[in-house]
Amino acid sequence: MQSDLRLSTEEIFSDQIALGKADLIVSMEPMEALRYLPYLSSDGVIVTSSKPFVNIPNYPDEAALQAELDALPHVAKLDIEQLAKENLVPKSANMILLGMATRYIEILTPEQMRNAISHIFARKGEQVVNDNLKAFDLGYENIQ
């Protein structure tokens, strides 16, 4: 599934991102990141989990996927599922990914992102807010 998010201080004329114009591709798994590579600008960044989610019988070889990612100039990857489990926030791998991506989203500061996370999850209680903030910080601090 693909979603486009456009952030700008200027007026935005379309909600879709054209081929070769994305500054950032954020993906929960490596093959998904590579699938949308045609959208990435030449100086764009891929932020992805390093571990595949193998859900089809003919899933590509993991070593080949990693080699393809490693050949690209701007890739940040972490085993977000493992990092989430190790840090006792197993349901927050997506927040780790958001923390990683925040390093490349120049229009928003990490503190603005943390405030948004706190606001969005506030109705779910303090523990859920804290777990999501912890996961966000893990991604932001451990990016490779």
Nearest Cα to 52, choosing from 43, 62, 42, 44? 62
120 is a domain residue: yes
What CATH number has the domain bearing residue 71?
Answer: 3.40.920.10
Domain count, the chain: 1
Domain that holds residue 37: 22-142
3-state SS class at 104:
coil
In a domain, 17, yes or no: no
Residue 52 has φ and ψ, to the nearest 5°, of -75, 155
Q: Is residue 27 part of a domain?
A: yes
Measured in whole angstroms, the distance separating CA 116 from the mean position of its chain's CA atoms is 16
138 found inside a domain: yes
Please list the residues that pair with 76 across neighbouring strands. Answer: 47
Q: Which residues are CB-neighbours of 87 under 8 A, at least 6 positions away?
A: 134, 135, 138
DSSP 8-state class, residue 48 = E
pLDDT in tens, the chain (144 residues): 677 677 777 777 778 888 999 999 999 999 999 999 999 999 999 999 999 888 888 888 889 999 999 999 999 999 999 999 999 999 999 999 999 999 999 899 999 999 999 999 999 999 999 999 999 999 999 976
Within-domain flag for 49: yes
Q: Is residue 8 part of a domain?
A: no
pTM of the model: 0.89
Residues in the chain: 144
Q: How high is the pLDDT of residue 55? A: 83
Q: Is residue 9 part of a domain?
A: no
